[in-house]
Structure 1
Amino acid sequence: MTLYGIGLGPGEADLVTVRGKQLLESVDVVYSPGRLSRTVALNHVPESKIGDLEFPMTRNVEKLRAAWKRAAAEIAPHAIDGDAAFVTLGDPNVYSTFGHLRRTLDAFHPAVDVEIVPGVSAMTAFATALGVEVEAGAGLALREAADGHAPTGPDRMILFKVTDAPSTHERLVEAGYDVKFGRRLFMEQGETVITDDPSELAERDYYTLAYAEKRGVTTESATAAFGDGVADGGHS
Structure 2
Amino acid sequence: MKRSKGKVYLVGAGPGDPDLITVRGKELLEKADCVVYDRLVNRELLKYVPSRAERIYCGKWSGFHLMKQEEIQTALVDRAKRGYNVVRLKGGDPSIFGRGGEEAELCADEGIDFEFVPGISSGVAAPAYAGIPLTHRDYASSVAFVTGHSCRKQDNQAPLVRWDELAAGVDTLVIYMGVKNLPEIQKQLLKNGRSGSTPMAFIQQGTTAQQQTFTTTLEYAVEKAVEVELVSPAIIIIGEVVKLREKLSWFEEEADKSPVPFIEVV
TM-score, normalised relative to structure 2? 0.64
- 1:153-181: CA deviations, max 9, x gaps? 22221111121486368545783121111
Q: Structure 1: which amino acid aligns with 2:13?
A: L
Corresponding residue for residue 158 of structure 1: 174
Distance 1:147 1:97, change over 3 A: closer
- Residue 195 of structure 1, aligned match among 205, 209, 214: 214
How far off its partner does 1:208 sit? Answer: 1.1
Instruction: Give deviations 1:132-170, integer Å, cap 9, x for gaps.
Output: 231257111122224888942222211111214863685
State the identity %: 20
| RMSD after superposition | 3.5
Contact 1:68 1:104 in 2 (8 A): no
After TM superposition, the structure 1 = structure 2 runs for residues 1-236 of structure 1, keeping only pairs within 5 Å, are 1-32=6-37, 34-37=38-41, 39-46=43-50, 48-54=52-58, 64=68, 66-78=70-82, 81-107=83-109, 109-110=110-111, 112-133=112-133, 134-135=135-136, 138-146=141-149, 151=163, 152-153=167-168, 154-164=170-180, 167=183, 171=187, 175-176=194-195, 177-187=198-208, 191-197=210-216, 198-199=224-225, 200-205=227-232, 207-213=233-239
Unaligned segments of structure 1, at least 5 residues: 218-236
Q: CA deviation at 1:58?
A: 8.3
Amino acid at match of 1:139: S
> Which one-letter code corresponds to 1:202 in the other structure?
E
Shift in alpha-carbon separation, 1:185–1:47, aligned structure 2, 3 A: farther
1-structure distance, mates of 2:107, 2:100: 11
| Count of matched residue positions in the alignment of Structure 1 and Structure 2 | 206
Q: 1:209 to 1:52 in 2, by over 3 A?
A: same
Following superposition, the deviation at residue 100 of structure 1 comes to 2.5
- CA gap of 1:132–1:56, structure 2 versus 1, over 3 A, is closer
**Kindly tell me: are residues 165 and 116 of structure 1, through their superposed partners in 2, closer, same or farther at Cα, counting changes over 3 Å?**
same
Unmatched 5+ stretches in structure 2: 1-5, 153-160, 217-223, 244-266
* Aligned partners of 1:55 and 1:67 also within 8 Å: no
Q: Measure, in 1, the Cα distance between the counterparts of 2:69 and 2:204.
A: 30
TM-score by length of 1: 0.71
Offset, 1:20: 1.0
Query: Structure 2: how far apart are the matches of 1:102 and 1:178?
Result: 38
Moved more, 170-179 or 1-10: 170-179
**C-alpha distance in 2 between matches for 1:159 and 1:97:** 16
